[in-house]
Amino acid sequence: MARAKTLKSDISIEAVLEAALELFSSQGYGATSMRQIAEKAGVSVGNIYHHFKNKELIFQRLLDRYWEIVLDPELKLNRIFSKAEFPDDLEDLADAIEEVVNNHSRKILLIYVDVIEFRGAHIRKFYETMAVRFEAQYGKNLAKRKKKGELTGGDPLVGVMLAVRWFFYFFTVEKSFGVPMHFGMDNRQAIDEFIRIMRYGVLPRGNDGRQPDKLHG
């Protein structure tokens, strides 16, 4: 099959996916009709079914695209991961995550749609394998730094994951929940505070007489 046909298909498929992304992320999955998608994409309902077997496969495809993006080694965020310089990379992590959230906020909303309407069926694997992915990227280097006394506490991998997950969530609330400055300050300031807390904690250093490895109370 030659190029013109492929091109026509690709254009229609892309229009359908784009329309569906906009509608699913602003109405939910079940409340979005195929007619709405068709109208928004500028194609017929029959044509959608020519390219996609059913509605759920459209949804699945959109989420798969998001996983492709966030797992792409060329993504700025993943390049920071591969350098494994935590906690020195916290500022860079925050910036890169803000960029991902700003560029892909609608796809991120699909995660919540999935949680509600599919009980997380299409996102489970990504979250279940999260710890393993971070271990693969940061494990070696963190172990080395811990051994050299450059990091303290328990498993430093938790620090990485906490920071990353938190930044994703924070920027999503700011952008998609419609509550900018929900910490009572602008993003930059809030991120600086988070980073400080993650690096140094909230308890003073030096003459506080408390041991870092002793749990309180």
Partner DNA sequence: CATAACAAACCGAACGTTCGTTTTGTAATT
Partner DNA sequence: AATTACAAAACGAACGTTCGGTTTGTTATG
Judged by the rule CB under 7 A, the positions of this chain that interact with DNA are 1-6, 8-9, 11-12, 32-36, 42-47, 49-51, 54-56
Binding mask 29-48 for a second copy (x = CB under 8 A): xxxx----------------
Which does residue 67 touch among DNA, a second copy, none (CB within 5 to 8 A, set by kind)?
none
Q: Locate 155 and state its tokens.
A: 């498993």
Q: Please report how close the Cβ of residue 17 comes to a second copy at its closest, in angstroms.
A: 18
Range 64-83, binding a second copy (CB under 8 A): none
Nearer to a second copy, 71 or 116 (CB): 116
- 120 binding a second copy? (CB under 8 A): yes
Binding mask 161-200 for a second copy (x = CB under 8 A): xx--xx--xx--x--xxxx--xxxx----x-xxxxxxxxx
- Residues in contact with a second copy, counted by CB under 8 A, come to a total of 76
Nearer to DNA, 15 or 108 (CB): 15
DSSP string, 82-151: HHT-TTTTHHHHHHHHHHHHHHSHHHHHHHHHHHHHSTTTTTHHHHHTHHHHHHHHHHHHHHHHHHTTSS
- 140 binding a second copy? (CB under 8 A): no
Contact at 8 Å (CB) between 68 and 136? no
Contact at 8 Å (CB) between 161 and 86? no
Which does residue 1 touch among DNA, a second copy, none (CB within 5 to 8 A, set by kind)?
DNA
Contact at 8 Å (CB) between 44 and 38? yes
Residue 77: phi, psi to the nearest 5? Answer: -60, -40
Q: Please report how close the Cβ of residue 138 comes to a second copy at its closest, in angstroms.
A: 12
Contact at 8 Å (CB) between 134 and 160? yes
Distances from the Cα of 196 to the Cαs of 35, 159, 161, 167, in angstroms? 50, 13, 16, 13
- 22 binding a second copy? (CB under 8 A): no
Q: Work out which of 45, 154, 186, 188 binds a second copy, going by CB under 8 A.
A: 154
Burial 161-183 (b: 16+ CB within 10 A, else e): bebbeebbebbbebbeeeeeeeb
Q: Please report how close the Cβ of residue 63 comes to a second copy at its closest, in angstroms.
A: 13
Q: Please report how close the Cβ of residue 214 comes to a second copy at its closest, in angstroms.
A: 10
